[in-house]
């Protein structure tokens, strides 16, 4: 099976997906003899019969027709999902999947094959398939590996696999009860819980060898409110790379449910959003999704290598207000977007993207770093073993400034205060974006007044950042619900920002 320039061929060796029951005991490993690094590696070697010799043989086959680089990405995932709709458990599923993706790079070309059968025969067959893209002299496989030891950013789940779903089910039932109790105008409630345990092992022809165990949980609540003929929606959620004990305080089922219900009830009395160009204040936390979409994707190296990003060729130039500093940080303990190592086996890091308004660099993976002659930022991510890695964000946020949030609001004569966002879209080639605000208010004479509905923010990412005139001292990260899509792949991410003021932005609405 041939694979030509700029094409990726996916080949799957079929095998039935196994099902299992899983119980996670959340503890932090402290004993060297059972350290997370060694336990991650041991899992694949013991469960699937892998050996270093087999890994070397697979890499040898992958490079047998030539190529500059090859890697193996092993993955085993156990997932649990529960859903309650109208106080009835409507969905409950558990399952496991495992497989390996094998990649060969030759210049800018990528050969890729994957299999969900981890026998030596099928792995070697997938390696030969991926090799067919390459041409030129054969290269010798690596003889031995050097293990990458990333940080220890999240507790490692250990224990048996006898699932008791009662505690997880109780979380969403508590959310359902709290949302209904908030206000009699709440007429419908849905709640969902998702949990996965992802184990990975990466071996590469450059000697890289890494493994990790990555927990991830999320609790979401959706509500519908109705008052006469007016119907509104509200949503809230939280999660991260930790166990059930994280769903307390600001992430408790009751807190999340009340927040979802509050948003829906608030919209019942909202007035039409104004339209036109005006001052806009973005609240802290989740509004960082605008930064993620309108700016973050444009700073991923593959788009800049292909010169399809609005930020291509602008390193060292002023692209934002001097008050703006943006970082991507994959090393934040317990955060949804954090990783000990990326999906190419490189340690994640904190990368400054924009500093004092000046573009400092891009997010890169191994391929982009090699082709662009830049450092690898440990940003290679993929949805699963069936997908090729590409540069992706982890936790992306704007650093805090010196302004008090109340002073920012007082400085606005007439404008919009956007506190929460729903959907949006951006064109990374020119930076143009459209975002809908799910919670926003009028600002009149420096005071927050009426809530508004159907407000959209329209602008250009690089241009919008130049109008940032005030940056709050209240940096906040989201509650752990972000999922980012790119080229059909979804990965968990985090966002955040302080309160900021933009002196000029176009607001779409139907009011005055």
**Residue where one domain finishes, among candidates 236, 268, 300:** 268
> Residues 193, 141: one domain?
yes
Residue 396 is assigned to a structural domain of this protein: yes
Q: For the CA atoms of 464, 470, 473, 478, what is the dihedral angle to 10 degrees?
A: -20
Residue 73 is assigned to a structural domain of this protein: yes
Residue 6 is assigned to a structural domain of this protein: no
- What's the whole-model pTM score? 0.89
> Residues 58, 185: one domain?
yes
> Residues 375, 421: one domain?
yes
> Residues 260, 353: one domain?
no
> Residues 214, 315: one domain?
no
Q: Compute the distance between CA of residue 70 and CA of residue 417 in angstroms, rounded to an integer.
A: 50
**Residue where one domain finishes, among candidates 234, 268, 302:** 268
Q: What is the pLDDT of residue 145?
A: 82
> Residues 311, 172: one domain?
no
Is residue 77 a contact partner of residue 195, using CB atoms and an 8 Å limit?
no
> Residues 324, 207: one domain?
no
Q: What is the pLDDT of residue 7?
A: 34
> Residues 384, 446: one domain?
yes
Mark out the alpha helices in 183-291 (DSSP H runs). 253-268, 288-291
Name residue, tokens 């419908």: 188
> Residues 249, 276: one domain?
no
Residue 198 is assigned to a structural domain of this protein: yes
Residue 282 is assigned to a structural domain of this protein: yes
Q: What is the pLDDT of residue 66?
A: 86
Q: Compute the distance between CA of residue 287 and CA of residue 353 in angstroms, rounded to an integer.
A: 18
The range of the structural domain enclosing residue 288 comes to 271-508
Q: What is the pLDDT of residue 89?
A: 92
Which CATH number characterizes residue 169's domain?
3.30.2290.10
> Residues 422, 466: one domain?
yes
Is residue 398 a contact partner of residue 354, using CB atoms and an 8 Å limit?
no
Residue 3 is assigned to a structural domain of this protein: no
**Phi/psi at 470 (nearest 5 deg)?**
-140, 140
* Domain total of the chain: 2
Residue 2 is assigned to a structural domain of this protein: no
**Residue where one domain finishes, among candidates 249, 268, 287:** 268
Residue 312 is assigned to a structural domain of this protein: yes
pLDDT in tens, the chain (512 residues): 333 233 333 333 333 333 332 222 232 223 333 444 456 778 999 999 999 999 999 999 999 988 889 999 999 999 999 999 988 999 999 999 999 999 999 988 899 999 999 999 999 999 999 998 766 555 655 667 888 888 889 987 644 334 578 899 999 999 999 999 999 999 999 999 999 999 999 999 999 999 999 999 999 999 999 999 999 999 999 999 998 989 999 999 999 999 999 999 999 999 999 999 999 999 999 999 989 988 999 999 999 999 999 999 999 999 999 999 999 999 999 999 999 999 999 999 999 999 999 999 999 999 999 999 999 999 999 999 999 999 999 999 999 999 999 999 999 999 999 999 987 788 888 889 999 999 999 999 999 999 999 999 999 988 999 999 999 999 999 999 999 999 999 999 999 999 999 999 999 987 66
Q: For residue 351, give the H/E element and its range.
A: strand 350-355
> Residues 346, 469: one domain?
yes
Q: Compute the distance between CA of residue 354 and CA of residue 366 in angstroms, rounded to an integer.
A: 21
> Residues 346, 198: one domain?
no
């Amino acid at each position: 099976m041939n694979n030509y320039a700029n094409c990726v061929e996916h080949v799957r060796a079929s095998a039935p997906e196994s099902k299992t029951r899983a119980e996670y005991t959340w503890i932090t490993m402290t004993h060297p003899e059972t350290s997370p690094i060694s336990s991650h590696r041991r899992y694949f070697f013991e469960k699937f019969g892998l050996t270093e010799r087999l890994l070397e043989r697979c890499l040898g086959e992958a490079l047998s027709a030539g190529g500059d680089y090859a890697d193996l990405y092993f993955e085993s995932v156990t997932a649990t999902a529960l859903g309650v709709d109208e106080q009835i458990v409507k969905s409950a599923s558990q399952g496991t999947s495992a497989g390996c993706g094998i990649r060969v790079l030759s210049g800018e070309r990528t050969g890729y094959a994957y299999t969900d059968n981890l026998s030596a025969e099928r792995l070697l067959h997938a390696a030969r398939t991926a090799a067919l893209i390459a041409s030129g002299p054969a290269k010798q496989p690596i003889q031995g590996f050097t293990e990458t030891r990333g940080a220890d950013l999240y507790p490692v789940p250990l224990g048996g696999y006898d699932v008791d779903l009662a505690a997880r089910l109780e979380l969403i039932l508590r959310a359902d009860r709290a949302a209904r109790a908030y206000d009699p105008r709440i007429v419908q409630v849905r709640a969902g819980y998702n949990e996965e345990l992802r184990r990975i092992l990466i071996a590469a022809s450059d000697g890289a060898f890494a493994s990790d165990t990555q927990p991830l949980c999320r609790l979401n609540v959706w509500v519908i409110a109705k008052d006469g003929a007016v119907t509104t929606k509200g949503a809230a959620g939280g999660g991260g790379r930790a166990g059930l004990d994280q769903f307390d305080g600001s992430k408790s089922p009751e807190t999340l449910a009340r927040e979802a219900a509050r948003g829906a009830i608030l919209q019942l009395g909202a007035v039409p959003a104004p339209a036109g160009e005006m001052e806009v204040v973005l609240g802290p936390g989740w509004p960082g999704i605008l930064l993620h979409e309108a700016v973050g994707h444009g700073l991923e190296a593959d788009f800049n290598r292909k010169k399809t990003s609005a930020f291509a060729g602008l390193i060292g130039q002023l692209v934002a207000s001097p008050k703006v500093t943006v970082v991507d940080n994959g090393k934040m303990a317990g955060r949804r977007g954090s990783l000990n190592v990326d999906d190419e086996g490189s340690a994640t890091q904190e990368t400054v993207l924009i500093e004092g308004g000046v573009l400092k660099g891009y997010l890169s993976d191994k391929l982009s770093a090699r082709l662009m002659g830049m450092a690898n930022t440990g940003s290679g991510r993929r949805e699963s073993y069936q997908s090729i890695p590409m540069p992706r964000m982890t936790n992306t946020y704007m650093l805090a400034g010196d302004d008090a949030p109340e002073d920012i609001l007082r400085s606005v004569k007439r404008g919009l205060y956007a506190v929460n966002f729903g959907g949006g879209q951006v064109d990374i080639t020119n930076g143009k974006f459209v975002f809908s605000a799910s919670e926003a208010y009028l600002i009149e004479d420096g005071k927050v007044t009426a809530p508004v509905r159907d407000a959209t923010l329209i602008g250009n990412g690089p241009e919008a950042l130049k109008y940032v005139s005030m940056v709050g001292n209240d940096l906040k990260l989201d509650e752990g619900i972000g999922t980012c899509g790119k080229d059909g792949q979804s990965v968990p991410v985090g966002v955040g920002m302080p309160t900021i003021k933009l002196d000029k932005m176009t607001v779409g609405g139907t009011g005055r």
